[in-house]
Structure 1
Amino acid sequence: MKRKAEKQQGTAPVSAFAARKARLQQTKTVVTAENSTHPELTAEPPTKRPRRSLEQPLSQSVPEDDAQRATKQGPVKVTQAVVVKGIRTARPTKLDDAAAIEESEDRSSFNEESEEEDAVEGNAGMMVVPGTEAGYESPADTPGVAMEFPLSKIRLNKSNIVYSDERTLCVRIWEKMSIVLIGRYDLWVKRGVVSVMGAKLHPSPRVYRVYAPSTHSLPVIKCVSGVDGAAEVEFRSCHSGIYRLRDLSPLYQRVWSSANTPADKYSLKQMENATKRTFSVLYTSADDPLKRHLRPLHLEKQWSAAIKNLSQRTGRLQVLVCGPKGSGKSTFGRYLLNHLLSPAPQAESNFHNTDGVAFLDLDLGQPEFSPMGQVYLAHLRSPVFGPPFTHPSLNGGHDGDIIRAHHIGATSPKEDPDHYVLAATNLMEHYRDLFARFPQCPLIINYPGWIFGLGLEVATYLVRSLGLSDVVYMSEKGPMEVVEPLRQATGAARIPLTILPSQPTEFASRSSAQLRSMQMQSYFHMIQPKEISQPVWLDRPIFRNRPFHVRYAGPNQGIHGIMVLGSQISPDLLSDSLEGTVVGVVAVESPNALPSPHADPENEPNDSDINIDITNNPSEDEPTTRTTTTPPSPLTTLTSLTTPTKENLPYLPPTPGTGTATPLHPSSSSSLGLALIRTINKTTQTIELATPIPASRLRESLERGHPIVLVRGGLDNPNWAISEEYYAARAAERRFRRWRSLGTRMGNTPGEGGEGGGGTGDSESQEKEKDRERKRRLARLKERVRRAKDVPFMTVIEDHGRRRQDEAERERRGALWKLRKKAVVEEESEVGY
């Protein structure tokens, strides 16, 4: 009876909180650890709950019906897999499964209409073979959750639709009601006050850009207060080009809105059937045509209370947000940031933020406004509505800019925690300079999930030394070996410690490594034209773009040093190890950033060694001799430290006696961004760089006497860049075939209303010529696909095996990801990563 009642109850829509509570009660079991040598570790909360179907008991696995149904399927399809340095993507071998015609075509509307078809044919998901992260992330073994979640609290009808057309939808939202959309849209509040991701938006001419992809929980637009009990909000389609990245990577497929939902069909019933906006209104998760795992982005009540309490600090707020991995730190920081950047109603607070908010991001693996491998200080002046890959950098627009950044060259600070702490301390000093100019500018510090072992020591040191006002820890379940040192550190600094419940995402359609790849790819394809306020994305493969040709030797030298962090590389292998890698572009501001030649790091010279006063107790009859030496320039010192290789590359060798290179000191160097080294031309002694860094910024750094050093660290290999040309070629072929079949269905046959209908012979010859041209164009596209397969480090494999078929089917349905944590602590610095 109990199982029957649970089954019946699972079919009805339930809220996200009720479902989470029910799953927690179902999965609550008593686990007895036998011969445990670390009993205190049982208090550590798991970052994410075990993955299983909600309608299955704990002991039940995948239903037998699915397996039986799989064995009764028809002939096995031939699937293709693209393997790029350990990354394999299952894709069907149909020729209709490819994508992207001429890059100059305007194909926005055509792409939008075929999103659902492309997702099915193109096998939208991407299966990653676990490598370095094995034991932590894996694809879920069970099919997608079949529970229907309510999203919007209103249903569109004549009373709440103010006006509607093919691009715009204006909705009247009653107080305490909400609406959820998926896709990309511009939001304009006309009447009343609405809340979106922590921000309270009032009526104004300002239009906000919102990105709501299926990879993250969807933002909820809720009416806080209104005129006559309702607020009016206009949603407008926008074309920024980010959706075109799906032609370059399968990770960007099945991300945005696809076919029209029931709500869209109602609001567009007076339009043509082919009308499609860049967003869709969802009543429940079952309305999604692609049947993806969609959930609303709700906020815990304790989170709301903490955000309201912290915002009362106004300009005196300097808060550090920390906690275990996957506990919701980034979400909490984004909500707090948006809340501080939006004016609150007068009844709640008299504080109006006009100085912006400083955001100090110390999370190397999943940063908010920068690609991985960097720590930075950003100054934000506008709320941000979207996941990190929709704003991978800030280029000094009205939304904000990067004050200072440092390249660490890794996704984890555990390799060089000293350099990490020095960079964080330097960024805090620059925040104090910013605070002197903007006295009402609060600070939010985003600390990574490295909260155990050595990471805890770093966190407590920062709490004691940075002069904070608050610390927020995102886990009520401890463990005590983390909470107690934090409590002691905050007590010694005399600042409050706020402990909040974690709010992890139980399921994810992309793993952490895949999200990093998406953000890195978005970073290299985004541009910020001066004519418009919003960034746009280019869909050309990165190796088809015109690169920067920078000389590394001879006259007009642009690259003055090359450094390799973390490992020692022979000078003879330096050129081979650099090609096809992502490096940091660092400007050396002072000779103090460089280590002294042939000296121990402990005995490096300081500023007092530059100016020397020779006054060794002179006698009265001898005049005082004072000699002052001119400080050496950064370029002179850098040139004396480099060792030319056989290609004449300016190599900065490792520090003698250490085996590794000493990183540039953060106090006298800064990161300009990242670059991808395409190739090194030994004849012309130039390096071809693909980088989104503006050329004016590089030129300005050189004109100020700051030489540029390329720093190669341990960042993920740019597998996405290697496979872009292949996916683009396949996309071109698929789109051309679809266009040709569409022309055939439209009846473009000789003598039927076409041009030249007067002569039958002429029309037949013209049609034959057009057919020959179409065949030649298709042949060129096929040749492009063939050439795209023959690139280094990538292999296209045709596999007729059942395993590949099952993987393709699971990816077609949209695989979810779950997180696992090590049960036994093997090394303190590894815990939590």
Structure 2
Amino acid sequence: MTKRKAEKQAAIAGTRSVSWLSSDAAETYNDCLAPISAFAARKARLQQTQTQTVVTTETTTHTEPAGEPPSKKPRRSLEESQAQSTPKEDAKRTTKRGTVKVEKTQRADNGTAARETRRKKVEVEVEQRETEASSSEESEGEDAVEENAAGVIAVPAAEDGCEFPADNTMTVEFPLSKMRLNKSNIVYSDEDTLCVRIREKLSIVLIGHYDLWVKRGVVSLMGAKLHPSPRVYRVYAPSTHSLPVIKCVTGVDGGAEVEFKSCHSGITRLRDLSPLYQRVWNSGNTPADKLSLKMAGQDARRTFSVLHTSADDSLKRHLRPLHLEKQWSAAIKVLSQRAGRLQVLVCGPKASGKSTFGRYLLNHLLSPAPQTETNYANTDGVAFLDLDPGQPEFMPMGQVYLAHLRSPVFGPPFTHPSLNNEREGSIIRAHHIGATSPKEDPDHYVLAATNLMEQYRALLATYPQCPLIINYPGWIFGTGLEVATYLIRSLGLSDVVYMSEKGPMEVVEPLSQAASASRTPLTILPSQPTEFVSRSSAQLRSMQMQSYFHMAQPKGVSHPMWAEKPVFKNRPFRVRYAGENRGVHGVMTLGSQISPELLCESLEGAVVGVVAVEGPDALPSPHPDSTTTNVESQAADNDDDETSNADVDMDDVDGAKTNLTIPHLATLTTPTKESLPYISTGPGSSTPLHPSSSSTLGLAIVRSINPTTQTLDLVTPIAPSRLIQSLEQGHALVLVRGVLDNPNWAVAEEYYGARAEDRRVRRNIKRRKDAGDEDDGDAAQDQKVLGLLKERIRRAKEVPFMTVVEDHGRRRQEEVEQQRALWKLRKKAGIESEDEVGY
């Protein structure tokens, strides 16, 4: 008995390193094991309840960088999993069947040979597809994996180590909608429109992007309750995030009628410029779409698709619905009752759901119950103070800002990278941090946050019932905790929300003490992270940055549009950086100073912040020991002096700024050999501009520098009228070079765009040949066009900072698997040093 018990424990210890299997294999495998520890059992139950249908096989160690997902290992089949049984079970089989072990080994060898044959067959098929001249192109509402024969390798962005690819992840059917689309709940439909009837307490999930119109009843969507009105809402539901759920709250005759309509904003065409935007939107028609498009024809495509389960997706992506924790819903209801008195700070560890909670609270505040059925209008809106420069909501990375929202927002950050529509909302004031983490310069970060809070108090004079939501980053340990407690004590908040019930106590206790000292209620909510995502944080930042530079707000159009042309093909803004009529008055760097000899090289191709210097107080002094400078610095921070300046005529103020700012700035600049006005404040590091007298207008990419004409070519989505207005007000424009990620996506856009155009032309040629509509003249013209495209692709490969690897075999197969890979989000339970914290 003792011997069998020891063998049993040894078998358990030997097999305990085996990771999670499929659901059927796991049941068989667990039956062969003795009772495991309570911790392991709780972990297994927790994973089964959270994912239900997602099965992962995690490696014991993972030391590869998280810049790009590594290739996946072969997935263990059910037969292989069952073959690894315990010695006890093998002994039983040997006793009963005698030679079963030899037969089992033979079957395993045959299975291995069969799998190797299938693998080689897949490689041959990949090589054959690569040697073909064309591949099928994705239509407006359809995504597929790009079948390129080459891969683009760029320098990966630095990751924080809290995200890594989840190997061997298999997705199976997962419920999404609580109602199945059928003839009884379809009110009407055509090739662009679908109107459905949703019964009370039922929900429907769509993927893609669409315009939503509530005709009857009340529905909830991402925290907002939408009532019947003429208002049409734009909804973005990509596969990179959990899909929004549309639920009937109150119905007329037991249900609500909602109309969905296709919209063509151009955002789907970004997939032709970047592989990060591939496999994001809806692909081939789902069973529900085929039912609703019966009368529209086989070629009909919408920009959205209805999904009942994740198995309806033809691309077999990891799709999950966006549900809200019950404790979150209760907290949102309590906070929304404070109305205009609400000033809440949302903080917590990384990947705890802070942004999701803030977005739900924002939408809930912007859509309260109407006083009547038709004439409700939200006049004061909601202020959103975003202090997370790594993953901002309404601006690209590297910024902290105050936004004034007037309409609910339905979509992830890369669908609204800026606010240019007065109807939807606007940016009140923004400051350029120049980094994805506040730890680079905590003092400047605190000054920027304090200045934005002062701007909110000034906004209350016009909108007295405007609540405030503050989004704090995941920088919650070490210095970040000190900054958070300082903000809680000094900003006069009404509530603080901490998004983690697991602590740690060394964070919760200081937050509780700061909240008690300021008499601010502290609410602790459970985190609701997404365990698996299809894009890492660095990739999402690149997507948001690319969307920012491609988005525009045309006049007379209520929703933004995206241009599908590479950004470097747009006409740049050419500004002078020297002379009397110059547009750029200075160039400065954040962090460690760059040698003047290397400034030109470091600026070309870099992302810079366009900062407007509103007064001389924003500039550091060239003589730090000067008594006059210290007096001026103290006067700039004195509220009494600011109050006295309010009585001065604005024309005189603008004239004073014009006369003082530019001359004072000239004393700080040192011309380089290219005559660039380099702002240097001393050896070592660079002092940033003071937030009280400076603000950022947006970001720009320095396309080129011409020392002969002393001009800069800038690519920027900032409206020219805004730049001119800032110069007319006497502001000096300064370009700030921080430590943001390099725009590798912009370098590769021309290559991907040329490849996409080549695929479109080849597909059209093939279609004409199949239809028999091509003659000799068309064939000659087609060959000419294909030759021009081939030359365009060749030139696109030769750009700097990019290497195109031609490989038609195993490497391409691994790249396809990487595009399908998921990312595992992991939070650290504790930290050893501040440097290990992920932001």
TM band (smaller chain): 0.7 to 0.9
Aligned-partner Cα distance in 2 for 1:493–1:792? 54
TM-score, normalising length from structure 1? 0.84
More helix by share: 2
Query: Of 650, 654, 657, which residue of structure 1 is paired with 2:677?
Result: 650
Per the alignment, residue 704 of structure 1 pairs with 729
Q: Provide Cα deviations, 1:716-747, integer angstroms capped at 9, x if missing partner.
A: 01000000000000011011000100111112
Letter in 1 for 2:170: G
Deviations 1:477-509 (A, max 9, x none): 111000000000000000100000000001000
Q: Which residue of the partner structure matches residue 16 of structure 2?
A: none
CA distance in 2, matches of 1:452, 1:388: 25
Amino acid at match of 1:54: V
Task: Give 1:799 shift.
Answer: 3.9
Give the count of matched residue pairs: 742
> Measured at CA, do residues 220 and 51 of structure 1 come closer, stay the same or move farther in structure 2, by a change above 3 Å?
closer
- The one of 639, 660, 667 equivalent to 1:633 is 660
* Whole-Å separation in 2 of the counterparts to 1:24 and 1:377: 46
Distance 2:747 2:608 in 1: 16
| Cross-structure match for 2:281 | 256
Q: Which has the higher contact order (CA 8 A, sep 6+)?
A: 1
Amino acid of the structure 1 residue aligned with 2:800: P
Contact 1:77 1:92 (C-alpha < 8 Å) held by counterparts: no
Select the residue among 542, 562, 572 that pairs with 1:517.
Answer: 542
1:152-184 deviation line (CA, Å, top 9, x unaligned): 111122221111111100001111010000001
Return the letter of the residue paired with 1:74.
K
Q: CA deviation at 1:74?
A: 2.7
Moved more, 817-826 or 389-398: 817-826
Instruction: Give how far 1:819 is off.
Output: 2.9
C-alpha displacement at 1:128, in angstroms?
Answer: 8.8
Q: Write the distance in 2 (CA, Å) between the matches of 1:608 and 1:303.
A: 44
Change (3 A) 1:417 1:529: same
Q: CA deviation at 1:143?
A: 3.0
Aligned to 2:76: 63
- 2-structure distance, mates of 1:4, 1:725: 43
The equivalent position to 2:744 in structure 1, one of 693, 708, 719, is 719
Cα RMSD (Å): 3.3
Aligned partner of 1:54 in structure 2 is 55
Letter in 2 for 1:138: F
In structure 2, the residue matched to 1:401 is: 426
Identify the residue that residue 164 of structure 2 maps to in structure 1.
138
Map 1:415-434 onto structure 2 (within 5 A): 415-434=440-459
Matched with 1:33 is none
State the secondary structure of the residue aligned to 2:305.
Answer: strand
CA contact 1:598–1:656 (8 Å) conserved in 2: no
* Correspondence for 1:7: 24
- In structure 2, what is the Cα distance between the partners aligned to 1:166 and 1:61? 41
* Paired residues of 2:152 and 2:804 also in contact (CA < 8 A): no
CA shift in 2, pair 1:273/1:80, >3 Å: closer
Counterpart-to-counterpart distance in 2, 1:137 and 1:57: 13
Q: Give the Cα separation in 1 of the matches to 2:808 and 2:660.
A: 63
**Distance (Å, rounded) in 2 between the aligned partners of 1:124 and 1:242:** 24
Quick check: 1:51–1:818 contact (8 Å CA) kept in 2?
A: no
Partner of 2:44: 27
Describe the SS at the equivalent of 2:191: coil
| 8 Å Cα contact 1:263/1:282 also seen in 2 | yes
Task: Output one character per residue of 1:773-804: Cα deviation in whole Å (capped at 9) or x when no partner.
Answer: 110000000100000000001011124674x2
Q: 1:127 to 1:305 in 2, by over 3 A?
A: farther
Counterpart Cα distance in 2 of 1:322 and 1:68: 54
Cross-structure match for 1:487: 512
Q: Is the 8 A contact 1:79 1:798 kept in 2?
A: no
CA distance in 1, matches of 2:406, 2:113: 57
Distance 2:746 2:626 in 1: 38
- Alignment partner of 2:461: what SS? helix
| Per-residue CA distance 1:375-405 (angstroms, 9 max, x = gap) | 0000000000000000000014300000000
The reply on whether 1:683 has 2:692 as its aligned counterpart is no
The equivalent position to 1:74 in structure 2, one of 111, 120, 123, is 120
Partner of 1:811 in structure 2? Answer: 818
Of 129, 135, 139, the residue aligned with 1:111 is: 139
Q: Equivalent residue for 1:776? A: 784
> What code does the residue aligned with 1:776 have?
K
Deviations 1:746-775 (A, max 9, x none): 1215xxxxxxxxxxxxxxxxx222211110
Which amino acid letter does the alignment assign opposite residue 536 of structure 1? Answer: M
Tell me, yes or no, if the aligned pair for 2:382 and 2:467 is still in contact at 8 Å.
yes
Aligned match for 2:134, one of 75, 86, 96? 96
Q: Are residues 1:462 and 2:469 paired?
A: no
Q: Is the 8 A contact 2:216 2:257 kept in 1?
A: yes
Which digits, 9 at most, give the CA deviation of each residue in 1:207-262, with x for residues without a partner? 00000000000000000001111110000000000000000000000000110000
CA separation of 1:253 and 1:805: change in aligned 2, threshold 3 A: closer
The 1:93–1:554 alpha-carbon spacing in structure 2 relative to 1, beyond 3 Å, is: farther
Q: Distance in 1 between matches of 2:502 and 2:809?
A: 46
Residues in 2 aligned to 1:71 and 1:805: alpha-carbon distance in whole angstroms: 18
Q: Which moved more, 1:49-58 or 1:717-726?
A: 49-58
Alpha carbons 2:154, 2:801 under 8 Å: kept: no
- What does residue range 70-219 of structure 1 map to in structure 2 within 5 Å? 71-72=116-117, 73-74=119-120, 77=123, 95-96=133-134, 111-112=139-140, 115-116=142-143, 118-119=144-145, 121=147, 132-133=158-159, 135-146=161-172, 148-219=173-244
Task: Tell me the residue number matched to 2:833.
Answer: 827
In the TM superposition, residue 826 of structure 1 has moved relative to its aligned partner by 3.9
Counterparts of 1:445 and 1:121, CA distance in 2? 43
Q: C-alpha separation between the residues in 1 aligned to 2:570 and 2:557? A: 22
Q: Residue 27 of structure 1 contacts residue 58 of structure 1 at CA under 8 Å; is this kept in 2?
A: no
- Are residues 1:785 and 2:793 paired? yes
**Aligned equivalents of 1:4 and 1:321: distance in 2?**
37
Write the letter of the residue equivalent to 2:766.
S
Alignment partners' CA distance in 2, 1:584 and 1:94: 45
Identity of aligned residues (%): 68
Q: Distance in 2 between matches of 1:409 and 1:4?
A: 44
Aligned-partner Cα distance in 1 for 2:823–2:540: 12
What SS does the corresponding residue of 1:606 show, helix, strand or coil? helix
Summarize deviations over 1:637-670 as a string: whole Å, max 9, x none.
Answer: 11121111111000001x325x111000000000
Task: Supply the distance in 2 between the matched residues of 1:52 and 1:151 (Cα, whole angstroms).
Answer: 12
Distance in 2 between residues matched to 1:358 and 1:533, nearest whole Å: 21
> 3-state SS of the aligned residue for 1:810?
helix
Cα separation, 1, equivalents of 2:535 and 2:419: 24
1:326 aligned partner:
351
Gaps of 5+ in 1: 11-21, 30-45, 82-90, 100-109, 611-628, 750-766
**Does the 8 A contact of 1:79 with 1:93 survive in 2?**
no
Give the secondary structure class of the aligned counterpart of 1:96. coil
CA distance in 2, matches of 1:729, 1:199: 42
* Pair 649,378 (structure 1): closer, same or farther in 2 beyond 3 Å: same
2:395 corresponds to 1:370 = yes
Letter in 2 for 1:541: P
Could you tell me which residue of structure 1 aligns to residue 695 of structure 2? 670
- Please give the alpha-carbon distance, in whole angstroms, between the structure 2 residues aligned to 1:55 and 1:286: 18
Partners of 1:130 and 1:136 in 2: how far apart? Answer: 16
* Distance in structure 2 (CA, Å) of the matches to 1:326 and 1:57: 19
> In structure 2, do the counterparts of structure 1 residues 137 and 128 end up closer, same or farther at CA, with 3 Å as the change threshold?
farther
**Residues 731 and 630 (structure 1 numbering): CA distance in 2 closer, same or farther, change over 3 Å?**
closer
SS at match of 1:186: strand
Letter in 2 for 1:507: F
Residues 1:515 and 1:55: Cα distance change in structure 2 (over 3 Å): closer
Aligned partner of 1:795 in structure 2 is 803
Distance of 1:226 and 1:461 partners within structure 2: 47
Task: Rate the CA distance shift 1:383–1:375 in 2: closer, same or farther, 3 A.
Answer: same
CA gap of 1:68–1:679, structure 2 versus 1, over 3 A, is: farther
Q: Which residue of 1 aligns with 2:85?
A: none
Query: What is the CA–CA distance in structure 2 between the aligned matches of 1:738 and 1:332, rounded to whole Å?
Result: 45
- TM-score normalized with structure 2 length: 0.83
In structure 2, the residue corresponding to 1:437 is in which secondary structure? Answer: coil
Distance 2:776 2:591 in 1: 63
Shift of 1:342: 0.5
